[in-house]
Amino acid sequence: MRYEDMIFTDNDKSRLKENRDAICSWVMENIVPFIDDDASLSVDFGPIYRCPRTGTPIETYHLAVYGRKHSFYFMGERGSGFIGYGEKFGGLHDPFEKVYSPYEIFPVVDNWKMIKQRLLSMVEERKGARKSIYTFEV
């Protein structure tokens, strides 16, 4: 079933918002402190979209975590947040912290295990690279 074809009850919607808040808290505690202010980590996920022109497979969604608050243009207003989210071809990110639509929250919740693993892996890679820089000897 495609995400946009799902039907959510009021209880589902409430629980998805709780899940979103838990994801945001986890990211703020476990990922953001390990990202430089001017850097970000991005994870692509979701159903595969095939470019009709090139046939290239591309995951539909992306989630980006920024080292400092990032500016977004969300629902006609400017806002900021540490976690950006959106469809790959949707143009702009939305601040995930402020997303309320269950249709936007569910793809992240549904793919959270993989997203979490990729974020942790990227943080470990950065730590390893930083260690090489600061322990370098000639």
pLDDT digits (tens, 9 = 90+) for 76-115: 667 788 998 888 766 556 788 988 899 989 999 999 999 9
pLDDT digits (tens, 9 = 90+) for 23-68: 999 999 999 998 888 888 989 888 887 777 888 887 888 899 999 9
Helices (H) and strands (E) in the chain, counts: 3, 4
Using alpha carbons only, give the angle 40, 65, 71 rounded to the nearest 5 degrees. 85
97 contacts 83 by C-beta, under 8 angstroms? yes
Give the model's pLDDT for residue 70: 87
The pTM is what? Answer: 0.84
